[in-house]
Chains A and B, each alone.
Chain A
Amino acid sequence: MREFGYQRAYDVAGAVALLDAAPDTRFLGGGTNLVDLMKTGVERPARLIDIRELPLDRIEVTAEGALRIGATVTNGDLAAHPEVRRRYPALAQAVLAGASGQLRNMATVGGNLLQRTRCGYFTEVSQPCNKRAPGSGCPAVAGEHRNHAILGASDHCVAVHASDMAVALTAFDAVVHYETADGPGELPLADFYLPVGDTPHRETALPAGALITGVTLPPAPVAAHSRYRKVRERASYAFAIGSLAAALDIRDGIVRDARLAFGAVASRPWRASAAERVLTGAPAVPETYAAAADAELAAARPLPRNGYKVDLIRNLTVTVLTELAEEAAR
């Protein structure tokens, strides 16, 4: 692997300045994805700025009642936090459904959002890949794509985003905060990931040189009654083949509020807005949940060997919403 420089940053301004000062530099969080990619040659940075010592490791309730999560909070601490578990249980469940205990104790919230796809063509540098080597082609379209996208993909790239955490954050309207040399900024998570189009190598709307400093979850009473369900090819320690974060507020048998996001179906966590529109104001019955799933999945464009995901997401939607409704009725 390429030799690289290593430097540790102790404050946000210093970290941003270090990144700005030298080209080909990356921030190092937990390293659970970046270091793997450096070993295989997918990432070849000249220098790493270690940001784990930055004072961004707190979870706080803001005056407005939002939850402010620092960028270097570990996945393990996030899932264990009492406010997260009480107010956004699907987020805690999503984080715990990912990776392993060891990895969660290293991986950070900011890093999790920026993790790269696990597409087998992306991670093998001898293969073409439009995401890694723009213009080289996408072998997954005609090749091994059992776990690739059914929504929002293009002929240029059909890879899926690997994060569980981001699916729950997407359902709950999280906002990403960042810092650049020009000052701070923020992006709703809904706008954070760019559409694939013909530029799959451009993954996020973060400005160049930006450091993610944290994520804010606005207050959302509906999220207190939420669930994350992940399906994978073994019981643990595998990326999702389909997942769902859902929250339901039901009163008098009518869905008053609903949040729904899908994982492992697109290049980004997929907010199921069309499904939410069907749900809101409709009777809380399985027929509604199926209609909601169908409304969202009408846009699905499965590949020859991943059509099962359409059935899987539809079934998951009906099952999980039914479970949430039954629990609410108790």
Chain B
Amino acid sequence: MSTATTTTSAHAPSVGTGHTRVEGRDKVTGAARYAAEVPFAGLAHGWLVLSTIARGRIRSLDTEPVLAMPGVLAVLDHRNAPHLNTDYTGLMGLRPDPTCAVFQHDRVPHLGWPVALVVAETSEQAREAAETLVVHYEQEPHHVELSGDHPDAHPVDGHEPAVTEKGDLDARLASSAFVVDAEYTTPEEHHNPMEPHAATARWDDGRLEVTDSNQGVTWVAGELQNLFSLDPASVRVRSEHVGGGFGSKGVRAHQVAAVMAATLLQRPVRVALTRRQMFALAGHRSPTVQRVRLGADADGRLRALEHRSVSRTSTVYEFVEPSAGVARVMYDADAHHTANHVVPLDVPSPTWMRAPGEAPGSFALEAALDELAEKCGIDPIELRLRNEPETGPVSGLPFAGRDLAACFREGARRFGWADRDSRPGVRREGRWLLGTGTAAASFPAGAQPSTASATAHPDGTFTIRISAADIGTGARTALTLIAADALQVPPERIRVRIGDSDFGPAGIAGGSMGTRSWSWAVKAAAGELRERLALGAGLPAQGLTVRSDTTEAVEALGPAERHSYGAQFAEVAVDVTTGEVRVRRMLGIFAAGRIVNPLTARNQLLGGMVWGISMALHEEAARDRASGGVVGADLAGYHVATHADVPRIEAGWIEDTDPDDPVGIKGIGEIGVVGAAAAVANAVWHATGVRHRSLPIRPDRVLAAAAGAPDA
């Protein structure tokens, strides 16, 4: 290895070239430790006790016999738990979901609400004691069923306004040559990351240290600091390796309960969730009922567009799944109405789940577009190209790069779309009916303020420190490449350390903003370090460190419609005698800004598309009306696509950039799932001639359609 701290020779860029994960070897050999595997001396184990009623109050808890059980150290519940502060606004500008403020009152707002934590010397003892604890409830009638015309539905602003309206919808629909008016539904879905949520809390010399698995240490540290009314400097959260998050790994009951127990017992306490508990405690995506009305003139140009979505939230927190928002970006019309409504029910609070809003919203809107194409007799791609807006349909703002048309052109070429016979239900291969479908995709491209530091060491290596989270995306590797180019050195000389709130504030791994936000800060710090070194700055033994803070730069971004785009293609085979639907091949072409690491980028895009297959055909939590809970709350009952469900799948991208981003990144975390389910559903129509407007497209629904039920 060279001992030079900088190099003046021509440097081959690392960004844009494929690199395997820098921690890949640690992960496949088991050397990488996940949150529940990090050892601590004197560790105690907490086990959450969840309510078995969906609404009511706790009358009493029989804690005495449990405290006498082997190894049991304590039982925490609403009678002895420390008071939490919930009167604050967190990192995302949001009030906390009271779901994480455990043991503060005797109310039970949903099945699976945490009512106690049993702490014991071993995990097995804690579990047995927790399952033995008898809780007496005063049960009240509960309601968990969502419907499109629910009387309690009301508009709710989320990260975007609830309602947008322009033009006279009824008049435009009445004067349209072609009209589509259809209701689409999507089911309750759960994140189900491979690694269940787990946290260990301990006090170390007056500082709270939490070893966690989360999507942002700054975020979780801030929430814990607020909840427990602590000094910011006295909370440290670490999260080195994360086995998936998908929106579910923020602050949740287990971290808060662990901190309470560690405080009470003054020893390290770990709380891990079981897969079954995750169905109640990790958040989920609400089911949606969406109505889409489209009116077009004879040549397919949209004159009227209405997209109304109703989703479900808990009775303690208003979370909106903003499915109607996708139309505000994708298509314009003289009359353009969108609305996101919410119904509070006796269920756990939903939360962000991969492509919140866009995933279910694109299913309804892009399926409706396909129905319009059929009615107009226009090719589905041509219909979309004819409706490309000049400016933001609702905002009127210019688009900062909108390459949807290029995605469709490239996708159509690679998929062989030009040869497609548009007639439905006419291709057969043995017992299978074959069809192809397409759909458009978009997802916002945002950035969050972040800080980073870059240190040059005398041995010619560099250390980057940033409170980033690698939730399986390859962020650690991407940041290594960004730093290598900014320092103009090979990536082997860079060590990137992430997942420690002591590294300073940074954005979350969420909203497809993680790698973009962190890259911005890393490039700034590393770039300035290189300049300082080039100017001949001396290198003390402890190295030279430069810090960056992108707050001003991010806030200075001008108003514009900033999004990634994509074109999804699917070919399916359907056996209408058994109801089986199999995806035969899938292609997604994306315009998603600059691609930092093609290897991990493809991985993320394909992962999103596989989620789309799951969403179209498999995923669905069955919420039981009688109990209010999920039936089959495990991975045998909740199906995701297996390898056998994912045959030939390809993702590609076109040259694209964000001119206002120092690296040109837009973000690729979520765009892969958007539109994917619609492409599959549209292909099922093309195969069978039947529109499936409710997801997932299960065998029983296909069979019902074959038996003559109209539009299953």
Give A contacts to B, CB under 8 Å: 1-3, 40-41, 118, 120-121, 123-124, 126-127, 139, 142-144, 146, 231, 233-239, 241-242, 305-306, 308, 311-312, 315-316, 319
Q: Which of the candidate stretches B398-406, B454-462, B700-708 sits at the interface with the other chain?
A: B700-708
Q: Determine the distance from Cα of A23 to Cα of B355 in the docked complex, in whole angstroms.
A: 53
CB-based contact A144/B624 at 8 Å: yes
* Complex interface: chain B residues within 8 A of A143 (CB): 624-626, 631
Q: Is the CB of A235 within 8 A of B578?
A: no
Which residues of B118-177 are within 8 A (CB) of A? 124, 127-128, 131
Interface residue B617 (Cβ < 8 Å from any Cβ of A): yes
Complexed CA–CA distance, A291 and B626 (Å): 39
Judge whether A316 and B578 touch: CB under 8 Å. yes
C-alpha gap A242/B627 in the complex (Å): 27
Give the chain A neighbours of B698 by CB distance below 8 A.
233
Contact of A238 among B52, B627, B639, B703 (CB under 8 A): B639
Q: 3 tightest CB-CB pairs across the interface, nearest first?
A: A120-B632, A120-B631, A236-B644
Residues on A with C-beta less than 8 A from B431 are 319
B699 located at the interface, meaning its Cβ lies under 8 Å from any Cβ of chain A in the complex: yes
Whether B124 lies near A127 (C-beta < 8 A) is: no
**Whole-angstrom distance between the Cβ of A43 and the nearest chain B Cβ:** 13
CA gap between A41 and B645 in the complex, in Å: 32
Contacts of B633 in A (CB 8 A): 120, 124
**Does B3 belong to the interface (CB within 8 Å)?**
no
The distance from the CB of B579 to the nearest CB of chain A, in whole angstroms, is: 7
* Complexed CA–CA distance, A311 and B705 (Å): 12
Cross-chain contact B645 with A236 (CB below 8 angstroms) = yes
Residues of the B chain whose Cβ atoms lie less than 8 Å from the Cβ of A120:
622, 631-633, 637
A234-B618, A308-B699 given; A123·B634 CB < 8 A? yes
CB distance A237 to B642 under 8 Å?
A: yes
Nearest chain B CB to A39 CB, angstrom units: 8
Task: Encode B270-303 as 1/0 by CB contact (under 8 A) with A.
Answer: 0000001000000000000000000000000000
Residues on B with beta carbons closer than 8 Å to the beta carbon of A41? 131
- Which residues does chain A contribute within 8 Å of B632, judged by CB atoms? 118, 120, 123, 144
> Which residue, B127, B580, B707, has most C-beta atoms of chain A within 10 A?
B580
Q: How far is the CA of A211 from the CA of B617 in the complex (A)?
A: 41
Contact indicator B641/A315 (Cβ below 8 Å): no
Nearest B-chain residue to A306, judged by Cβ: B700
B202 at the binding interface (Cβ < 8 Å): no
A40 to B131 CA separation, bound complex (whole angstroms)? 10
Pick the contact of A235: B124, B627, B645 (CB < 8 A): B645
Chain B residues within an 8 Å CB radius of A237: 642, 644
Q: Is B643 an interface residue (CB 8 A)?
A: yes
Q: In the docked arrangement, what's the CA distance between A146 and B639, Å?
A: 14
Interchain CA distance A238-B640 in the complex, whole Å: 10
**Total number of B residues with any Cβ neighbor in A under 8 Å:** 39
Nearest chain A residue, comparing its CB with the CB of B583: A235
Q: Report which of B52, B127, B276, B699 forms a contact with A233, defined as CB distance below 8 A.
A: B699
Q: Is B608 an interface residue (CB 8 A)?
A: no
Known: A308-B579, A308-B699. A234 touches B641 (CB 8 A): yes
Residue of A123, A238, A308, A319 with most partner-chain B CB within 10 A: A308
Contact surface of B with A, Cβ cutoff 8 Å? 52, 124, 127-128, 131, 276, 431, 577-580, 582, 617-618, 622, 624-627, 629, 631-634, 636-637, 639, 641-645, 698-700, 703-704, 706-707
Q: Are A144 and B631 in contact (CB under 8 A)?
A: yes
- Could you say which of A142, A146, A305 contacts B626, with CB atoms under 8 Å apart? A142
Residues of chain B within 8 A of A127, CB atoms compared: 624, 627, 629, 631
Q: List 30 A-B contacts (CB under 8 A).
A: A1-B124, A1-B127, A1-B128, A1-B131, A2-B128, A40-B276, A120-B632, A123-B634, A124-B629, A127-B627, A139-B626, A139-B627, A142-B626, A143-B624, A144-B622, A144-B624, A144-B632, A231-B579, A231-B699, A234-B618, A235-B645, A236-B644, A237-B644, A241-B699, A306-B700, A308-B703, A311-B706, A312-B703, A316-B577, A319-B577
Q: Kindly name the residue among B128, B276, B617, B699 whose own CB sees the greatest number of chain A CB atoms within 10 A.
A: B699
Known: A118-B637, A120-B631, A142-B626. 14 other contacts (CB 8 A): A1-B128, A121-B631, A124-B633, A126-B52, A139-B626, A143-B625, A144-B622, A144-B631, A146-B700, A235-B582, A308-B699, A312-B579, A315-B577, A316-B578
Q: How far is the CA of A16 from the CA of B578 in the complex (A)?
A: 44
Main secondary structure of the interface of A (DSSP, over half): loop
**Bound CA span A319–B430, Å:** 11
Known A-B contacts A2-B128, A126-B52, A139-B626; the reply to A308 vs B704 at CB < 8 A is: yes
**Contact status B644-A231, CB under 8 Å:** no
Which residues of chain B come closer than 8 Å to A319, judged between CB atoms?
431, 577-578
Q: Please, which residues of chain A bring their CB within 8 A of the CB of B582?
A: 235
Indicate if the CB atoms of B699 and A312 lie closer than 8 Å: yes
Q: Which of B577, B631, B634 has the most CB of A within 10 A?
A: B631
Q: A305 to chain B: which residues have CB within 8 Å?
A: 700
Q: Is the CB of A3 within 8 A of B579?
A: no
* A312–B701 CA distance with the chains assembled, in angstroms: 12
Task: Tell me the smallest distance from the CB of A48 to a CB of chain B, in Å.
Answer: 15
Kindly state the separation between the CA atoms of A41 and B52 in the bound complex, as whole angstroms. 15
Docked complex Cα distance between A315 and B580 (Å): 12
* Given A1-B124, A308-B700, CB of A236 within 8 Å of CB of B643: yes
Q: Could you say which residues of chain A place their CB within 8 Å of the CB of B276? A: 40, 124
A40 / chain B contacts, CB cutoff of 8 Å: 276
Rounded to whole Å, the gap between the CB of A100 and the closest CB of chain B is: 9
Q: How far is the CB of A2 from chain B (nearest CB, A)?
A: 6
**Which residues of A have CB within 8 Å of B643?**
236
B124→A234 contact, CB < 8 A: no
Decide if A234 touches B626 in the complex (CB within 8 Å): no
Shortest Cβ distance from residue B584 to the other chain A in the assembled complex, whole angstroms:
11
A126 to B637, CA, bound (A): 17
A314 to chain B, nearest CB (A): 9
The distance in angstroms between the C-alpha atoms of A126 and B629, with both chains bound, is 10
Question: A286 to chain B: closest CB distance in Å?
Answer: 12
Beta-carbon contact of B578 and A312 below 8 Å? yes
Q: What is the distance, in angstroms, from A154's C-beta to the closest C-beta of chain B?
A: 19
In the bound complex, residues from chain A placing their C-beta under 8 Å from that of B128 are 1-3
Nearest to B707 among chain A residues (CB) is: A311
Q: Return chain A residues, CB-CB under 8 Å to B625.
A: 143
Instruction: Looking at the assembled complex, report how far the CB atom of A245 sits from the nearest CB atom of chain B, in whole angstroms.
Output: 16
**Which residues from B are CB-within-8-Å of A3?**
124, 128
A308 to B577, CA, bound (A): 11
The one of B124, B127, B631, B642 that contacts A236, using a Cβ cutoff of 8 Å: B642
**Whole-angstrom distance between the alpha carbons of A207 and B668 in the complex?**
60
Are A139's CB and B624's CB within 8 A? yes
A239–B636 touching, CB < 8 Å: yes
Shortest CB distance B360–A (Å): 20
Q: Which residue of B lies closest to A142 (CB)?
A: B626
Chain A, Cβ-Cβ closest to B578: A231
Closest to B646 in A: A235
Q: How far is the CA of A123 from the CA of B622 in the complex (A)?
A: 14
> What's the least CB distance linking A280 to chain B, in Å?
25
Complex Cα spacing A142 to B631, Å: 13
Could you tell me the distance between the alpha carbons of A231 and B582 in the complex, rounded to whole angstroms?
12
Contact A118 B626 (CB under 8 A): no
A99 to B83 CA separation, bound complex (whole angstroms): 47
Residues on the A chain within 8 Å of B580, using CB: 231
Q: How far is the CA of A200 from the CA of B22 in the complex (A)?
A: 55
Q: For residue B638, which residue of chain A has the nearest CB?
A: A120
Q: How far is the CB of B626 from chain A (nearest CB, A)?
A: 5
Please give, as numbers and ranges, the residues of chain A lying within 8 Å of B637 by CB-CB distance. Answer: 118, 120, 123
B706 contacts across to A, CB distance below 8 A: 311
B611 to chain A, nearest CB (A): 14
Q: Which residues of B contact A126 (CB under 8 A)?
A: 52, 627, 629
A242 to B, closest residue via Cβ: B578
Query: Which chain A residue has the least Cβ–Cβ distance from B576?
Result: A315
Give the chain B neighbours of A121 by CB distance below 8 A.
631
How far apart sit A118 and B636, CA to CA, in the bound complex (Å)?
8
Measured CB to CB, the nearest residue on chain B to A137 is: B626
List chain A residues, Cβ under 8 A from B703: 308, 311-312
Q: How far is the CA of A315 from the CA of B579 in the complex (A)?
A: 10
